[in-house]
Amino acid sequence: MPTQERLLYASENGDRWSLCHDRDSGRIVVRHRANLSSGGLVSDIGLGEFLVQGGLGPEKQELLRLIGSLIERETNDSSNLATS
């Protein structure tokens, strides 16, 4: 199961959140790796579920920033095509 993974945020206590895409299934999840002192558990949460859960922690802010950058890039690419 080839999975692409991009780190979203690493906290000072060692927790890490990544955006993961399973290329076989097409599933996209946010993967949380707890720090070792918390047990080091790894859990996946669906992208939609992650976005609608409460709070606006730095891991969610980073995901939203990433989504925004994709929109900005698409807008810039479209503008460049229109002026060519």
What is the Cα–Cα distance from 52 to 71, expressed in whole angstroms?
20
Higher pLDDT, 84 or 77: 77
Whole-model pTM over 0.85: no
Q: pLDDT digit string (tens) for 18-67? A: 999 999 999 999 999 999 999 999 999 999 999 999 999 999 999 999 99
SS3 15: coil
What is the domain range of residue 18? 3-82
pLDDT at 73: 72
Query: What is the count of structural domains for the chain?
Result: 1
Phi, psi (degrees; rounded to nearest 5) at 73: -65, -45
Least confident of 2-16, 53-67, 69-83: 69-83
Q: Report the C-alpha gap between 74 and 35 in whole angstroms.
A: 36
Query: To which residue do tokens 């707890």 refer?
Result: 34
> Structure tokens of 46?
């669906």
